Structure 1
Amino acid sequence: MRRARRPVVVIGSGVAGMATALAAAPAPVRLLCRAADGSGSASALAQGGIAAALGDGDGSGAHARDTLEAGANHNDVAAVRWLCAAAPDTVAWLAAQGVAFDRGPDGRLQLGREGGHGAHRIAHAGGDATGAALVRALRAQVQTAAHVQWRGGVDAEALLLRDGRVAGVRVRDGQGRHEEIEAAAVVLATGGIGALWAHTSNPPGADGAGLALALAAGAAARDLEFVQFHPTALAVEGHSLPLLTEALRGAGARLVDSTGEPLMRDLHPLGDLAPRDVVARRVWQACRQGGGAWLDATSIEGDWRVRFPTVLAACRAHGLDPRRERLPITPVAHFHMGGVATDLDGRSSLPGLYAVGEAACNGVHGANRLASNSLLEAVAGGRRLGAVLAAAAPAAGQGVHRWAERGVSLSPESLSALRGLLWRAAGPVREAVALRDAWRVCAAAADAGWQMRLAKALLRAMRLRRRSLGAHCREDRGCPM
């Protein structure tokens, strides 16, 4: 009897995971995620749009130049050129999947502008709710795809290695029951690491679990030190803070200090639309000096319920009205440029293990991601990886095997303490002694939980890069403030 083909296992239900699953047809796919209903991905919270050179006078070359400049030219140039060239087709593919992009009366896309971009090239869907629109459309496609089996409510906690090749995964459900799944390939689409910081724009599940699993199995990592901080989250109590999209500044909002003076005056040619690392450091500095930082969006015209419904709802939930008053802001951990080292096809250093989206690092973002390139990379990269997996020959199923365990999790109290430690030592501005002391804390407690070991790896990378570059600002090494 012929044995059934082992499935491709995709871990993660954000747009990167779903795009990969759809593009892998006709290969069987098992799509796994922590939340029972598939919710909780950072994709759904994304307020920015999809960057693509679709406007008159714009082109993929200009998009690439802006990407390289924002990334401090630490980017892989070939990866950047590929992504920017793939952007228009990515938007067209998403529209074909049912994403209703915002359009003008003439039917043309309404293109916005965000920090670091030299042109209006951001396509949105539902104003500042683009991520949610993408998730809805792709989920509808996945749920009707005959080759995809969706399973929520499970956490991947170990990888099966057979003769040095990743050949499966072990998952645990909410009742503590385990299941071992043999796989033709395993794809990590588990998102970023922002939830390891005290203040973040990410959901709690963006805690680096996939990266930790890959490191436990021996996969190579890349650029772990580059963590982007979004400069404008609403400064309220809590861990996951409401984001105030950069598109607000593109529409005329201004960054000011407590007296109403412009924060970005004479600091960068693009002013309030400077790359995120520059703006985040300035806001961080203003907050640490005690006066605080503010976003004044009162000059923005139009219907906020159409243009910025997510921001409006978040502000009003905290008793604020962005149409009539300035908003207190703080930087927050937002996006990880580093991750599992991959090539453009998503291959890691371990045969059989792939990564895509924020969990992966193929060099496209360099030292600092350009605004709205993240959803673009997730979709374009997922489609490319899925096509590779669809054409891949089945791997052999025999050989010596072992399980690579991620390990136990930290207690809630220890996790909270770790978040505070990383916020203080590994924020938008860093310094050698604080990094060393934080690394020592994590090294001493490495057996307490996998989050501590992951933080130790992150801090080690931050210590080893002794000069400032992009989002990695070493105050003791001449970081431009």
Structure 2
Amino acid sequence: MTYSDVLIIGSGIAALQLASQLSQDKNVRIITKSTVRTANSYLAQGGIAAAIGKEDHPDKHHTDTLEAGRFHNHEETVRKIIDEAPKLIQEMYKKGCHFDHDSEGNLLLGMEGAHSEKRIVHGGGDATGKRMIEFLLTQLKANIFLEENIYVYELIVDEKQEKCIGVKGKRLDGSIEYFFAQHIVLATGGCGQLYSFTSNAETVTGDGIVMAYLAGAEIADMEFIQFHPTLLYVNGETKGLVSEAVRGEGAILVDENDVPIMEGVHPYKDLAPRHVVSQTIYENIKKGKQVFLDISNIKNFENRFPSITLLCTQNDIKLKDGKIPVVPGSHFLMGGIKTDFIGRSSIKNLYAIGEASCTGLHGANRLASNSLLEGLYQGKMLAELINVEDRANPPQEYLTIVYPVVKKQHHLPDIVTLQTRMMEYVGIVRSKESLTVQRKWLDQFGLKQIGRELDGCSSEDLTKIFMLTAAKLITNAALLRTESRGGHFRSDYPFEDDLNWCKKQIVYQRQGEKSNEYVKAALAN
């Protein structure tokens, strides 16, 4: 058993930003279930949005964020984070993070979908996430201890004091270890691996969100899944992300007959909000058409997008032909553990930052390149909050807790079956019929009882349990929201319903049946 002042679960941008900003008198431990360089953040090709151009202003960035989020956003949170964006970028740049710039040191700004100005800061062309992670790793001080390959699977909550006091984790050999801390931070990302087509790392399976839900924290907006329009599609499989920045540089989406598919669909055409582009591609694919990204107008593509060039080369795509085959896939979760803009959850001493959290910044659909920004902001602000708090002495009564372990075997489906069903029934286009079919299928696995018996489960079964539980949260929320908004599209309710749904969140809270009235109504049907 170990005790830390701050325990961080996850190793992406938000986690490392927090760790690097914490005071050196804090004892900090970072735990990640794989390795530090397998986080979603490390794979991020896109950049960070910030209104630093001469013609730009935070007000424009604010407006674009609300428009993309279909006005489901928490406006105060949007304002706080967007206003801070230029300062966050400049701070990292001055510290030595190598963002792309011209010969005079001015940051180069790119355009992405749903932005009204060029405001995307990149690093290494299309390797922004990798460059930022590598930089933040150099900022970690001697007071920070990083442990890889520990699968954190349960939060330990002191029910009398109503606060989180630690976590349980499994090592590669199956042994269980308990980690206690004054502050517990979940930075575990979203749940993109629930879908058969996804841009997400293999480790992104909803762990932190489900752990928080099982512990009684509030979970919100799980129906809002962003499907990225352009994943490389080869032989029926997705092979990786083709950044939106490619369309920002002039690429257009065409069908197999070279007909542009975004003409007449949206005023921004190929740079329309992601849900619009994804749905349009999906409709073409359902009609039996193949969709390509036509890159023939982009000069020096290989130099501008080296990571994408390598990805295509590895999958035998000949860029000289000027076409990249694409398909939409799950990319980002707008919902998650409900927090304030800093990351405080509904459970004392438990925080969530990055994609695992739901601050309200993204609303119903994330504006491109706002996610790394959110992680940087939350990491910095949460560090400022924790830094001024007095250190607490390790509570000895916690360190002597013994948890009996009983081996458990559960009848659970294979992951591929779950992913295929989520793509088909709870994917880009949903309906009451498809969602009801999926909910009935999920109900058969007895997840409520299983969630109380995690110690004896193998790591493989834990992953399935987390994925199935997250799938159920998404399915129930999607069934309840009887409208289409942002990343949530219902073919039986194809229009936004501002009167009944614009600002209303679907909030789950397991303990004490505290879910809001919308959830109770849905679960009763």
- Fold shared per TM-score above 0.5: yes
Match of 2:419 in 1: 419
User: Structure 1 residues 239 and 83, CA, compared in 2 at 3 Å: closer, same or farther?
Assistant: farther
The count of aligned residue pairs is 472
Q: Give the Cα separation in 2 of the matches to 1:117 and 1:408.
A: 50
Match of 1:436 in 2: 436
User: Structure 1 residues 446 and 228, CA, compared in 2 at 3 Å: closer, same or farther?
Assistant: farther
Q: Give the Cα separation in 2 of the matches to 1:223 and 1:107.
A: 41
Map 1:375-394 onto structure 2 (within 5 A).
375-394=372-391
User: Runs of 4 or more off by more than 6 Å in structure 1?
Assistant: 398-403, 407-412
User: Structure 1 residues 291 and 19, CA, compared in 2 at 3 Å: closer, same or farther?
Assistant: same
Contact 1:226 1:368 in 2 (8 A): yes
Q: 2:145 aligns with which of 140, 145, 149?
A: 149
Match of 1:14 in 2: 12
Contact 2:5 2:392 in 1 (8 A): no
Match of 1:59 in 2: 57
Map 1:236-315 onto structure 2 (within 5 A).
236-237=234-235, 241-302=239-300, 304-315=301-312
Match of 1:119 in 2: 117
User: Structure 1 residues 410 and 133, CA, compared in 2 at 3 Å: closer, same or farther?
Assistant: farther
Kindly state the Cα deviation for residue 412 of structure 1 after the two structures are TM-superposed.
8.9
User: Structure 1 residues 195 and 39, CA, compared in 2 at 3 Å: closer, same or farther?
Assistant: same
Q: Please tell me whether residue 360 in structure 1 is matched to residue 357 in structure 2.
A: yes
Identical amino acids, percent of aligned pairs: 37
Kindly state the Cα deviation for residue 94 of structure 1 after the two structures are TM-superposed.
1.9
Q: Give the Cα separation in 2 of the matches to 1:454 and 1:50.
A: 28
Contact 1:297 1:323 in 2 (8 A): no
**Bigger Cα displacement from structure 2, 390-399 vs 325-334:** 390-399
Match of 1:109 in 2: 107
Q: Give the Cα separation in 1 of the matches to 2:349 and 2:408.
A: 24
Q: 1:24 aligns with which of 22, 25, 39?
A: 22
Q: Give the Cα separation in 2 of the matches to 1:375 and 1:264.
A: 28
Q: Please tell me whether residue 136 in structure 1 is matched to residue 134 in structure 2.
A: yes
Q: Please tell me whether residue 92 in structure 1 is matched to residue 123 in structure 2.
A: no
Deviations 1:82-118 (A, max 9, x none): 1111111111122234321111122211100000000
Deviations 1:403-444 (A, max 9, x none): 8x9x98988962111111100011111111100110111111
Q: Give the Cα separation in 2 of the matches to 1:67 and 1:32.
A: 32
Kindly state the Cα deviation for residue 323 of structure 1 after the two structures are TM-superposed.
4.0
Q: Give the Cα separation in 1 of the matches to 2:355 and 2:236.
A: 23
Contact 2:8 2:29 in 1 (8 A): yes
Match of 2:185 in 1: 187
TM-score, length basis structure 1: 0.94
Q: Give the Cα separation in 2 of the matches to 1:246 and 1:219.
A: 34
Contact 2:191 2:470 in 1 (8 A): no
User: Structure 1 residues 28 and 80, CA, compared in 2 at 3 Å: closer, same or farther?
Assistant: same
Match of 1:227 in 2: 225
Q: Which runs of 5+ in 1 are unaligned?
A: none
Contact 1:200 1:239 in 2 (8 A): no
User: Structure 1 residues 450 and 124, CA, compared in 2 at 3 Å: closer, same or farther?
Assistant: closer
Q: Give the Cα separation in 1 of the matches to 2:378 and 2:408.
A: 31
Q: 2:370 aligns with which of 359, 370, 373?
A: 373
Kindly state the Cα deviation for residue 187 of structure 1 after the two structures are TM-superposed.
0.3
Q: Give the Cα separation in 2 of the matches to 1:322 and 1:66.
A: 32
Q: Please tell me whether residue 465 in structure 1 is matched to residue 481 in structure 2.
A: yes
Q: Give the Cα separation in 1 of the matches to 2:69 and 2:320.
A: 33
SS in 1 for 2:298: coil
TM-score, length basis structure 2: 0.86
Deviations 1:56-77 (A, max 9, x none): 1101110000000000010000
Q: Give the Cα separation in 2 of the matches to 1:220 and 1:446.
A: 21
**Bigger Cα displacement from structure 2, 245-254 vs 393-402:** 393-402
The one-letter code sitting in structure 2 at the alignment partner of 1:325 is G
Q: Please tell me whether residue 478 in structure 1 is matched to residue 494 in structure 2.
A: yes
Q: Please tell me whether residue 211 in structure 1 is matched to residue 209 in structure 2.
A: yes
Kindly state the Cα deviation for residue 322 of structure 1 after the two structures are TM-superposed.
2.7
Contact 1:233 1:330 in 2 (8 A): yes
SS in 2 for 1:88: helix
User: Structure 1 residues 318 and 409, CA, compared in 2 at 3 Å: closer, same or farther?
Assistant: farther
Q: Give the Cα separation in 2 of the matches to 1:389 and 1:98.
A: 25
Deviations 1:27-82 (A, max 9, x none): 221011012x4221000111110100011110111000000000001000011111
Contact 1:97 1:138 in 2 (8 A): no
Deviations 1:226-269 (A, max 9, x none): 00000011112476631111111111101111111111011111
Q: Give the Cα separation in 2 of the matches to 1:258 and 1:309.
A: 26
The one-letter code sitting in structure 2 at the alignment partner of 1:440 is K
Q: Give the Cα separation in 2 of the matches to 1:409 and 1:308.
A: 47
Contact 2:206 2:466 in 1 (8 A): no
Contact 1:101 1:125 in 2 (8 A): yes
User: Structure 1 residues 360 and 29, CA, compared in 2 at 3 Å: closer, same or farther?
Assistant: same
Q: Give the Cα separation in 2 of the matches to 1:202 and 1:81.
A: 28
The one-letter code sitting in structure 2 at the alignment partner of 1:138 is L
**Bigger Cα displacement from structure 2, 66-75 vs 378-387:** 378-387
**Bigger Cα displacement from structure 2, 339-348 vs 238-247:** 238-247
Q: Please tell me whether residue 160 in structure 1 is matched to residue 176 in structure 2.
A: no
Deviations 1:156-186 (A, max 9, x none): 1111112321011111111112211110011
The one-letter code sitting in structure 2 at the alignment partner of 1:317 is Q
Kindly state the Cα deviation for residue 205 of structure 1 after the two structures are TM-superposed.
0.6
User: Structure 1 residues 388 and 408, CA, compared in 2 at 3 Å: closer, same or farther?
Assistant: farther
Match of 1:451 in 2: 467
The one-letter code sitting in structure 2 at the alignment partner of 1:29 is V
SS in 1 for 2:179: strand
Match of 2:316 in 1: 319
Q: Give the Cα separation in 1 of the matches to 2:168 and 2:476.
A: 29
Q: Which runs of 5+ in 2 are unaligned?
A: 451-464, 497-525
Deviations 1:442-465 (A, max 9, x none): 111144723212211111111111
Q: Give the Cα separation in 1 of the matches to 2:466 and 2:42.
A: 26
The one-letter code sitting in structure 2 at the alignment partner of 1:469 is R
The one-letter code sitting in structure 2 at the alignment partner of 1:244 is V
SS in 2 for 1:280: helix
Q: Give the Cα separation in 2 of the matches to 1:5 and 1:332.
A: 40
Contact 1:409 1:450 in 2 (8 A): no
The one-letter code sitting in structure 1 at the alignment partner of 2:308 is V
User: Structure 1 residues 117 and 478, CA, compared in 2 at 3 Å: closer, same or farther?
Assistant: same
Contact 2:231 2:238 in 1 (8 A): no
SS in 1 for 2:319: coil
Contact 2:232 2:238 in 1 (8 A): no
User: Structure 1 residues 48 and 468, CA, compared in 2 at 3 Å: closer, same or farther?
Assistant: same
